Amino acid sequence: MFESVAGPAENLMALLLPLYRNVEFAYAIAGCIGVAALFLAVVAILGHITRRSALMLVISRLTGFVRFTPGAGRAGSATAEEIAFASRFSEIDSVMSRPGLFRAGVTDAWARFRHTLTLEGAPPVRASARPAQFFFAACPPPTWLGFAANLFVGFGLLATFVGLVAALSFASEGMQSADAATMQNALRDLLFAASSKFVTSIAGVGASIVLRLVERLLTIDLRGRLEALSAILERGVRIETDVSAALLHARLERLANVIERATGAEPAAAPAAFADVKESVG
pLDDT digits over 220-237, tens only?
A: 999 999 999 998 888 888
**Range of the structural domain that residue 269 is part of:** 242-282
pTM of the entire structure? 0.71
- Nearest Cα neighbor of 123 from 91, 86, 92 is 86
pLDDT at 246: 54
Instruction: Please indicate, yes or no, whether residues 76 and 120 belong to a single structural domain of this protein.
Output: yes
Burial class (CB in 10 A: 0-12, 13-18, 19+), 232: buried
Check whether 270 has a pLDDT greater than 50: no
Is the pLDDT reported for residue 31 higher than 90? Answer: yes
Contact in structure between 123 and 82 (CB atoms under 8 Å): yes
In a domain, 147, yes or no: yes
- Residue 216 and residue 268 share a domain: no
Give DSSP secondary structure letters for 83-112.
HHHHHTHHHHHHHHH---TT-HHHHHHHHH
Q: Are residues 100 and 224 in the same domain?
A: yes
Residue 73 pLDDT exceeds 50: no
Structural domain includes residue 246 = yes
Do 273 and 133 belong to one domain?
no
Q: Is residue 3 part of a domain?
A: no
The answer to whether residues 31 and 17 belong to one domain is yes
Residue 222 belongs to some domain of the structure: yes
- Residues 237, 257: one domain? no
Look at the chain and report how many structural domains it folds into. 2
pLDDT above 50 (res 282):
no
Residues 19 and 116 both lie in one domain: yes
Flag whether 2 is in a domain: no
pLDDT higher than threshold 60 for residue 75: no
> Of 7-16, 73-82, 84-93, 157-166, where does mean pLDDT reach its minimum?
73-82
Same-domain status, 97 and 208: yes
What percent of the chain is modeled with pLDDT above 70? Answer: 70
| 208: pLDDT strictly greater than 80 | yes
Q: How confident is the model at residue 265, as a pLDDT?
A: 53
229 domain residue, yes or no? yes
Integer angstrom CA distances of residue 27 from 19, 33, 35: 12, 10, 12
Is the same domain home to 216 and 96? Answer: yes
Residue 274 binned pLDDT confidence (cut-offs 50, 70, 90): very low
Same domain, 106 and 121: yes
**Residue 5 falls inside a structural domain:** no
Average pLDDT over the chain, rounded to whole? Answer: 78
From CA 34, how far away is CA 36, in angstroms rounded?
6
CB 163 within 8 A of CB 215: no
Share of the chain above pLDDT 90, in %: 26
71 vs 23 pLDDT, higher one:
23
Question: Looking at the predicted structure, is the pLDDT value of residue 273 above 50?
Answer: no
Residues 70 and 110 in one domain: yes
Is a pLDDT exceeding 80 seen at residue 74?
no
* pLDDT tens by residue, 120-160: 766 788 888 899 999 998 888 999 999 999 999 999 999 88
- Per-residue CA distances from 237 to 47, 89, 116, 183, 193 (Å): 31, 10, 11, 81, 66
Asked, for residue 29, whether it belongs to a domain, the answer is: yes
Are residues 201 and 256 both part of a single domain? no
pLDDT at position 72, please?
Answer: 45
